[in-house]
């Protein structure tokens, strides 16, 4: 894999976007200090707070309440300049990913063939194929036999044994078009406020559970990074935007709305001469989607181990089919290097098949990568996470090892973004 990227590309990226060449961690290394502010219990508490809203299915009251809660948390943690993207969501045909029929209706089970480039800006969303295995993964065979576990969306409320949670999740997504919102906040750069990295995760879920992993784990990660970067003693040369997408499960519609509304505004000073840039130029987009469960491939009977596999790692993916694939690959390697330098427990790996998450909406307009528990197309889509879109995606399902894997993803992103934006601590 390392041969896919020339050292000159990676070096050019780091030289153009870092304030200085990478140095070994010093005793007073500000990035090491920032990483040390990430706390496992705080990360778990943020995920737990999100689960009080059940699966946070888009279009429901619990989804709107969760957005309000996220915004309040961001403000209380110092990221006070919160804003919202407002858009109209138009449902797709019945059976597409994330649709919820009447209670007891059959789930939208997947079929093979999800595209690695699904969700690209301006392209039709691969909603119907989003829950399917995408190609041949490790532990599968090309004919569909062997150790492969078909995945889909649970739409049966009776599959959720917890009566209280079942009632919380019962309100369905409205059938017709309707208004939707998503919240973001920004860490303003001091010397280059007109340039920024976008750090995102989706806050909506499906499956009649708590969406603790998909994607409470990613949402909590982004919120924790917003908290740390918003500390009064932290400054960055470039800006960072923390976005909690909505409507990911319906086909990354919230990210699409952001691109459609904000892309043309990049780098424009408003008002002129003010030094304010409502939409700084995008330097890169980093998505976080399912951070906790790396227990290995399904066994012959389709079950998955209850224990984390010894080879558990943080997966960093880019889309080899995107217009910015070379730059995205360089960005992925910058994150890989940051993981090696600052992550405490788990290594990183890189894959070229980023797919079916919000970063796909950005991949043809800016270098974009996604951090996950496993590779989306070849592993998650082949059944490596039995909680995916299921009633078992609960906070209590996961162990401290699982949560620590998510924390290491947070360490990876925090340290990489801190390097790329020139983060420092005020004396």
Q: Are 126 and 114 in contact (CB under 8 A)?
A: yes
Degrees to nearest 5, angle at CA 127 with 179 and 240: 60
Residue 149's pLDDT is 55
Q: How far apart are CA 282 and CA 241, in angstroms?
A: 10
Q: Are 291 and 372 in contact (CB under 8 A)?
A: yes
Report the phi/psi class of residue 301: left, alpha or beta, with left for phi > 0 and alpha for psi in -120 to 50.
alpha
Model confidence, pTM: 0.85
Residue 148's pLDDT is 53
Q: How far apart are CA 370 and CA 352, in angstroms?
A: 10
Degrees to nearest 5, angle at CA 17 with 14 and 22: 40
Q: How far apart are CA 391 and CA 166, in angstroms?
A: 9
- Map 368-384 to HEC letters: EEEEECCCCCCCHHHCC
Contact residues for 142 (Cβ-Cβ < 8 A; gap 6+): 136
Q: Which tens digits make up the pLDDT trace of 250-290?
A: 999 999 999 999 999 999 999 988 889 999 999 999 999 99
Residue 145 pairs in a beta bridge with: none
Task: Please give the share of the chain, as a percent, with pLDDT higher than 90.
Answer: 75
Residue 26's pLDDT is 56
Q: Which tens digits make up the pLDDT trace of 204-222?
A: 999 999 999 999 999 999 9
Residue 152's pLDDT is 85
Q: How far apart are CA 39 and CA 29, in angstroms?
A: 18
For the chain of 427 residues, list the mean pLDDT of each consecutive stretch of 10. Answer: 40 44 64 98 98 98 98 97 97 56 29 30 32 35 44 92 98 95 98 97 98 98 98 98 98 98 95 91 98 96 95 98 98 98 98 96 98 93 95 98 98 98 95
Residue 128's pLDDT is 30
């Amino acid at each position: 894999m390392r041969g896919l990227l020339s050292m000159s590309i990676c070096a050019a990226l780091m030289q153009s976007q870092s304030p200085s060449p990478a140095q070994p961690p010093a005793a007073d290394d500000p990035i090491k200090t920032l990483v040390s502010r990430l706390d496992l219990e705080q990360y778990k508490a943020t995920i737990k707070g999100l689960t009080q809203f059940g699966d946070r299915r888009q279009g429901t009251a619990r989804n709107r309440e969760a957005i309000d809660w996220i915004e309040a948390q961001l403000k209380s943690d110092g990221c006070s300049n919160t804003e919202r993207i407002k858009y109209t969501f138009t449902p797709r045909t019945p059976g597409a990913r994330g649709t919820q029929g009447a209670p007891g209706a059959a789930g939208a089970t997947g079929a093979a063939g999800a595209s690695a480039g699904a969700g690209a800006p301006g392209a039709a969303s691969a909603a119907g194929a989003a829950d399917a295995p995408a190609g041949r993964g490790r532990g599968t065979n090309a004919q569909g036999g062997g150790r492969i576990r078909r995945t889909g969306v649970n739409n049966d409320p009776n599959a959720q044994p917890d009566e209280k949670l079942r009632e919380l999740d019962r309100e369905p997504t409205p059938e017709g078009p309707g208004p939707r919102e998503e919240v973001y906040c920004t860490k303003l750069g001091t010397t280059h406020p007109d340039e920024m990295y976008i750090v995102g995760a989706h806050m909506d879920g499906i499956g009649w559970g708590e969406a603790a992993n998909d994607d409470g784990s990613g949402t909590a990660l982004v919120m924790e990074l917003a908290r740390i970067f918003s500390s009064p003693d932290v400054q960055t040369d470039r800006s960072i935007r923390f976005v909690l997408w909505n409507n990911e499960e319906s086909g990354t519609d919230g990210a699409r709305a952001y691109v459609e509304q904000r892309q043309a505004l990049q780098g424009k000073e408003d008002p002129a001469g003010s030094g304010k840039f409502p939409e700084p130029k995008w330097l890169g987009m980093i998505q976080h989607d399912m951070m906790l469960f790396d227990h290995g491939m399904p066994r012959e009977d389709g079950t998955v181990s209850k224990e984390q596999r010894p080879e558990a790692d943080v997966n960093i993916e880019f889309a080899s089919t995107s217009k910015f694939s070379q730059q995205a690959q360089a960005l992925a390697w910058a994150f890989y290097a940051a993981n090696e330098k600052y992550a405490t427990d788990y290594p990183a790996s890189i894959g070229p098949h980023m797919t079916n998450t919000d970063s796909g909406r950005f991949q043809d307009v800016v270098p974009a990568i996604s951090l996950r528990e496993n590779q989306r197309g070849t592993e998650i889509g082949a059944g490596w996470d039995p909680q995916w879109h299921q009633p078992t995606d609960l906070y209590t399902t996961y162990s401290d090892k699982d949560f620590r894997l998510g924390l290491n993803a947070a360490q990876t992103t925090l340290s990489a973004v801190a390097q790329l934006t020139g983060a420092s601590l005020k004396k």
